[in-house]
Amino acid sequence: MGSPVIGVFDSGFGGLTVLKALLEVIPNAEYLYFGDTARLPYGSKSVETVARYACEATRYLEQQGAELLVIACNTATALAFDQIKNTASVAVVGVIEPGAERAAVSSRSGKVVVIGTEATTCSHAYRHALAAREVEAHEKACPLLVPLVEEGWVNHPVTEEIARIYLNEAFSDGFRSADVLLLGCTHYPLLKPVLQRAAPAGVTLVDSAESTAMAVRELLSSTLAMATRAKKDQVKFFVTDSTDKFRRLGRLFLGQEILDIAHVDLKE
């Protein structure tokens, strides 16, 4: 079997941290990345709207040849995973289950703090996924963290102050003994140093981007050829808003240049 074609979908930029992790653990696949940048962010939108957008995007990725779909967006996974699975005719991997599994394995106290967007935390998708593993979750919405990342203030003292305010609230009352901080938003890996400093001492950070990449590798392990060197043109990018902005900002998330990029319009 040749290289698998993996479709990666996100509302915008955050999914690039998942793509980055995928490129590290499955370097011999081909990737199609779809960023719905004209309609981002999903984090503050309703279930119906997010489900409609996500299904349109995943249909598009299948039409382009994706043989496996990765929903690299916590909000879309939390709100619309079942609808996406019903729409898709290929296997679909979301970010919630892999992140919850890794958090459950990492926690000794059985208590985990999950941070994410308003929509992700309100859906309680992480709470349910962790409860199924007998772990208690405190979900805390942190709506300022995404704009701080997009402003480029990933190491700014203000960002650390805001992170401290959010985490002090989250690790309180019944969750003073929580020992894992699960990053339930694909923007947050860029804030790892700040979040580690702002969290109580001894707390382990679990990154759902990394956990998802590992889950995809496991799923493909039976069909994957031995890892070969990555090719230069192995990722095609599709975005619904300006390609220039995606190229500029996307580089921060992906950690490398964004080359082959096309604008698509889902509104026919």
- Kindly tell me which of 73 and 93 has the beta carbon lying closer to its own copies: 73
Say how far apart CA 202 and CA 86 lie, in whole Å: 41
135 near its own copies (CB under 8 A): no
- Per CB under 8 A, the list member of 147, 155, 176, 223 interacting with its own copies is 147
Say how far apart CA 209 and CA 260 lie, in whole Å: 22
Does the N-terminal peptide bond of residue 98 adopt cis geometry, omega within 30 degrees of 0?
no
127 near its own copies (CB under 8 A): no
240 near its own copies (CB under 8 A): yes
The answer to whether the beta carbons of residues 115 and 166 sit under 8 Å apart is yes
165 near its own copies (CB under 8 A): yes
Helices 47-63 and 74-87: crossing angle, nearest 10°?
60
C-beta of 155: minimal distance to its own copies in Å? Answer: 14
C-beta of 44: minimal distance to its own copies in Å? Answer: 8
* DSSP-based helix, strand, coil % in the chain, nearest 5: 45, 20, 35
C-beta of 45: minimal distance to its own copies in Å? Answer: 5
Q: Which of 55, 73, 122, 142 is catalytic?
A: 73
Reply yes or no on whether 73 is catalytic: yes
**67-82 burial by CB neighbour count: b if 16+ within 10 A, else e?**
bbbbbbbbbbbbbbbe
223 near its own copies (CB under 8 A): no
Reply yes or no on whether 122 is catalytic: no
- Per CB under 8 A, the list member of 161, 168, 177, 227 interacting with its own copies is 161
Say how far apart CA 212 and CA 99 lie, in whole Å: 7
- Per CB under 8 A, the list member of 148, 180, 183, 195 interacting with its own copies is 148
C-beta of 146: minimal distance to its own copies in Å? Answer: 8
Beta bridge partners of 33: 8, 237
Per-residue binding string, its own copies, 48-87, x by CB under 8 A, is xx--------------------------------------
Q: Judged by CB under 8 A, how many residues of this single chain contact its own copies?
A: 26
225 near its own copies (CB under 8 A): no
Q: Between vectors from CA 91 to CA 90 and to CA 93, what angle results, nearest 5°?
A: 140
Say how far apart CA 253 and CA 190 lie, in whole Å: 7
Q: Which two tokens stand for residue 101?
A: 């599994």
139 near its own copies (CB under 8 A): no
Q: Which of 55, 122, 142, 185 is catalytic?
A: 185
CA 102 and chain centroid, separation: 14
- Kindly tell me which of 45 and 127 has the beta carbon lying closer to its own copies: 45
Say how far apart CA 15 and CA 6 lie, in whole Å: 13
- List, by residue number, the catalytic residues: 73, 185
Summarize as ranges the residues that interact with its own copies (CB under 8 A): 37-40, 44-46, 48-49, 143-144, 146-148, 150-151, 153, 158, 161-162, 165, 240-242, 245, 267
